[in-house]
Structure 1
Amino acid sequence: MISQVFILSSKGDHLIYKDFRGEAGKDAVNKFYEMVTALTGGQPPVVMKHKELHFVHIRQGGLYWVATTKADASPFTIIEFLNRLTALVKDYCGCLSEKSVQMNFALIYELLDEVVDFGYIQTTSTDILKNFIQTEAVSSKPFSLFDLSNVGLFGADTQQNKVAPSAAATRPIVSSQGEQGGKNEIFVDVIERMSVVIGANGVLMKADIEGEIRVKCYMPSCSEMRIGLNEEFSIGKSQLSGYGAAVRVDECSFHQAVRLDEFDTYRILKVCPSQGEQTVMQYQLCDDLPTAPPFRLFPSIERDSGGRLLMYLKLRCDLPPKSAAINVSITIPVPKGSLRLSQELSSPDQSAELQPKNKAVHWEIPRFPGGAQLSALFKLEVSGLSAASLQEVGPVSLSFELPKYTSTGLQIRFLRLSPIQPGPSQRWVRYVTHSDSYTIRI
């Protein structure tokens, strides 16, 4: 049973507030933000308590999505509800961002009225709600790109190259009362998140990959979609046979709407897509990368005669030559007494700065071609520099995006729709791998 639902910006601005039962005052919003921002260190807990009120929240699109309850409700149910609510808002508004929520506040309030009745969840189906939602969405901008930072590939902002073929993936779902003149399009995205730990000796210590196949459909008349995966796709430790490129994962799960009668033999997923976004398949690969890690770091840390700390870093990109990483960000923790930074970078498009608050050097590379090697020389003035200060350097953490690339090698062989769609239709298949946690010890 849900008492309140509210959406806050990262700065604590009140974007949406809905009280279903009158059990808690509006000051609960301020109390939640105080509790979240008062925490130091890592990720705040998903469930927090103040007196008799429980706060359950998630972060999506840079926003806090919060539900409160006083009853003995299952937190997992509320977390699932919040995740589905964000998916609904994304379907109806086109993207998740502070601007899109502000521009579509009336639509979101109408959604909440239909989804929750006196604190009880009714439905979160996009198809069902299309029959009741009257408010039309307002698009925040005519063209929107991938927001790979939170893996919401169907709509948000990024500062990089325009990798989306059109704005269709980020437009709102058309309501049943709206116009029906839009393009018949369907998007299938293969998204992978990589967690890697590389030791100081360069040995790969940990490598985990979590992936999923997402579908967003704009075809109201599509009754069945068949997605063909690699023929040599294996789950578990079973022996691979055949002549195709071998792809293996440890675990795999499917959406309840997916039919698997052709999966064991032909590696084909059959699904009846509803309008909106669905995750049709999730998979995981642990402690085994089929290819080399995308980045290797060769560091050299020493003191110069002037008492400065010198860090010479060579970063190599081990992607295929025709691939490239974008939005590469390298964070190097430095001694607490670091005061000033001077730098020598190997290319003009790079940038670096010392972040005094975090006591770290932040090195940015907008685009990093596969097979290339870049370097940086950082000279730090450190108060009270000693041999012990050198031990405060590292470990190095990287974040990045790898468009048109999957670490497991999973590919979509074909995408077939039935019945055959009348008029022109377009099908887009896209791939991306991004860093979940990529750490290199030095």
Structure 2
Amino acid sequence: MASIVYFLDAKGKSLLSRDYKGDIPYSAVDKFPLLHLEAEEENSAAPPVFNYKGINYLYIVHNDLYILALTRNNDNALEIMLFLNKLIEVLTQYFKNLEEESIRDNFVIIYELLDEMMDYGFPQTTDTKILKEYITQKSHALIKFNQQQQRPPNAVTNAVSWRTDGIFYKKNEVFLDVIESINMLVNPNGQVLRSEILGKIKIKSQLSGMPDLRLGLNDKGIFGGDRSNGNGGGEDRTTKGLEMEDVKFHQCVRLSKFENEKIITFIPPDGEFELMSYRLSTPIKPLIWVDCRVKLHSNSRIEIKAKVRAQIKKRSTANDVEISIPVPEDADSPKFQTSSGSIKYTPENSCIVWKLKQFQGGKEAAMIAELGLPSVTNEDPTFKSKRPISVKFQVPYFITSGLQVRYLKINEPKMQYQSYPWVRYITQSGNDYTIRL
């Protein structure tokens, strides 16, 4: 595994490091900026892993920082990269913003965390909740020699390292959210050029003791077939179910049980966590469709007519619909008319934003916008930038893929309490839900 972990600034200068094995000279990091520059020139984008004179350089970039791991052996590169990402996640939860200044201000705590999270290059405790129980940002008085010293929580040495003993709630509850984000690219005629569903199942656990949970989903096709390449293994969506890709589980899930019996069983961490995530590359129709027409009048003003339609079931409602339509950068004097919602011109983003607080399925709304163009040119300013329309929305109680939670059984062998889960479904726009003009 990793021999040394470095934090480097944007120029490749070392801010902090931790040597776990002592088998790599410190001078090796001095080669990193030059090697990184050469790799960028050869590949236009530098690969995250490269080798020089028998030393492997593995790194990720975060807020103009390089988090770099060096190793000599032919180790599991993916495991090292996962550890570096987990390291960023833990430090971000400690300091809110992980940047050069926060590293300089908190180097003592960072050294403590590096010692607890990795031992001789092998990852150990990486759960932030457990680490915060004995590595804190508060000052402590000196402990007298004969006084019992503070010990790490039992969870550090337990088999269940993500959950502590002695958790108790008067009311035992589990809240489960199935959230799917839609990314798609649509041409002006309504044809979907690219679409995908990014899903995740999030859990908020408020259970006493050491409960054992068993989750049942409606579609066994998503877990069928060969998973040797990491895919969900589904085949035809109508007969075999959904074809999930990039399925990832929280460390609490018993993977051997899942691989053999296709059952999701786990002892949950206390509080909120993401149980699993998945991706579906499947053709879907636009849930919120925008038909936009742009007309230029004598190069002095521009007229935009847009119609939005909620292509969801009539009993469903889209909340917080926000449609951003690009306009020329020098546009001014906006005038708006709309059948519903509100419209605002945001010159700093060169777009008009149309907001609909609630938009029921099957309904339509229309708007007309007129803006002046003080800079008269022979070119058509509307299509000069080629920026698309972006759409944001959220549809509660609705899931595009049809995935459903059939049951969530809770068993606590010692306390024998009864608890029933609360399940919520949400479909929302992703970071890339766009419609071309």
Q: What is aligned with 1:273? A: 268
Amino acid at match of 1:57: I
State the SS of the aligned residue for 1:20: strand
Amino acid at match of 2:290: L
Give the length in aligned residue pairs.
Answer: 371
State the SS of the aligned residue for 1:332: strand
Q: 1:373 aligns with which of 356, 360, 364?
A: 364
Q: 2:231 aligned with 1:240, yes or no?
A: no
Q: 2:72 aligned with 1:69, yes or no?
A: no
Q: 1:191 aligns with which of 154, 179, 185?
A: 179
Q: 2:432 aligns with which of 419, 426, 437?
A: 437
Amino acid at match of 2:403: L
Q: Give the deviation of 1:300 after TM superposition.
A: 1.4
Aligned ranges 1:20-31 → 2 under 5 Å: 20-21=18-19, 23=26
State the SS of the aligned residue for 2:134: coil
- CA-based RMSD of the aligned residues comes to 5.0
Alpha carbons 1:218, 1:275 under 8 Å: kept: yes
Alpha carbons 2:203, 2:275 under 8 Å: kept: yes
Q: What is aligned with 2:307? A: 314
Q: What is aligned with 2:134? A: 134
Q: Give the deviation of 1:279 after TM superposition.
A: 5.0
Q: What is aligned with 1:142? A: none
State the SS of the aligned residue for 1:388: coil
Q: What is aligned with 1:227? A: 215
Deviations 1:140-159 (A, max 9, x none): xxxxxxxxxxxxxxxxxxxx
State the SS of the aligned residue for 2:434: strand
Seen in structure 2, the aligned counterparts of structure 1 residues 440 and 54 have a Cα distance that, compared at 3 Å, is same
Q: What is aligned with 1:161? A: none
Q: What is aligned with 1:122? A: 123
In structure 2, what is the Cα distance between the partners aligned to 1:136 and 1:369? 47
Alpha carbons 1:225, 1:416 under 8 Å: kept: yes
In structure 2, what is the Cα distance between the partners aligned to 1:306 and 1:123? 65
Q: What is aligned with 1:169? A: none
In structure 2, what is the Cα distance between the partners aligned to 1:350 and 1:432? 26
Seen in structure 2, the aligned counterparts of structure 1 residues 376 and 81 have a Cα distance that, compared at 3 Å, is farther
Deviations 1:125-165 (A, max 9, x none): 539x8489414689xxxxxxxxxxxxxxxxxxxxxxxxxxx
Q: What is aligned with 1:363? A: 353
**TM-score under structure 2 length normalisation:** 0.64
Q: 2:412 aligned with 1:419, yes or no?
A: yes
Seen in structure 2, the aligned counterparts of structure 1 residues 208 and 3 have a Cα distance that, compared at 3 Å, is same
Q: 2:79 aligned with 1:81, yes or no?
A: no
In structure 1, what is the Cα distance between the partners aligned to 2:168 and 2:136? 15
Stretch deviating more after TM superposition (70-79 or 207-216)? 70-79
Q: What is aligned with 2:226? A: none
Seen in structure 2, the aligned counterparts of structure 1 residues 391 and 269 have a Cα distance that, compared at 3 Å, is same
In structure 1, what is the Cα distance between the partners aligned to 2:91 and 2:332? 45
Alpha carbons 1:324, 1:367 under 8 Å: kept: no
Deviations 1:91-122 (A, max 9, x none): x86xx9449x98x968766433300347x243
Q: What is aligned with 2:330? A: 338
Alpha carbons 1:226, 1:269 under 8 Å: kept: yes
Unaligned runs of 5+ in 2: 20-24, 139-160, 223-233
Amino acid at match of 2:134: Q
Seen in structure 2, the aligned counterparts of structure 1 residues 252 and 121 have a Cα distance that, compared at 3 Å, is closer
Alpha carbons 1:406, 1:432 under 8 Å: kept: yes
State the SS of the aligned residue for 2:373: strand
State the SS of the aligned residue for 1:389: coil
In structure 2, what is the Cα distance between the partners aligned to 1:211 and 1:274? 20
Deviations 1:352-371 (A, max 9, x none): 31236xxx315152634233
Q: Give the deviation of 1:87 after TM superposition.
A: 5.4
State the SS of the aligned residue for 2:181: strand
In structure 2, what is the Cα distance between the partners aligned to 1:364 and 1:263? 49
In structure 2, what is the Cα distance between the partners aligned to 1:107 and 1:426? 40
Aligned ranges 1:28-67 → 2 under 5 Å: 47=48, 56-57=59-60, 66-67=66-67
Seen in structure 2, the aligned counterparts of structure 1 residues 54 and 226 have a Cα distance that, compared at 3 Å, is same
Unaligned runs of 5+ in 1: 139-172, 242-246
Alpha carbons 2:334, 2:371 under 8 Å: kept: yes
Q: What is aligned with 2:158? A: none
Q: What is aligned with 1:151? A: none
Deviations 1:277-310 (A, max 9, x none): 6655444332322xx4211111111122571122
Q: Give the deviation of 1:53 after TM superposition.
A: 11
Deviations 1:236-262 (A, max 9, x none): 216539xxxxx5335474646242489
State the SS of the aligned residue for 2:265: strand
Deviations 1:207-254 (A, max 9, x none): 22232334454546344212121257552216539xxxxx53354746
In structure 1, what is the Cα distance between the partners aligned to 2:208 and 2:83? 25
In structure 1, what is the Cα distance between the partners aligned to 2:432 and 2:416? 45
Seen in structure 2, the aligned counterparts of structure 1 residues 202 and 366 have a Cα distance that, compared at 3 Å, is closer
Q: Give the deviation of 1:429 after TM superposition.
A: 2.6
In structure 1, what is the Cα distance between the partners aligned to 2:81 and 2:321? 31
In structure 2, what is the Cα distance between the partners aligned to 1:257 and 1:208? 28
Alpha carbons 2:169, 2:208 under 8 Å: kept: no
**TM-score under structure 1 length normalisation:** 0.64
Q: Give the deviation of 1:55 after TM superposition.
A: 7.6
Deviations 1:306-325 (A, max 9, x none): 71122222222223345444
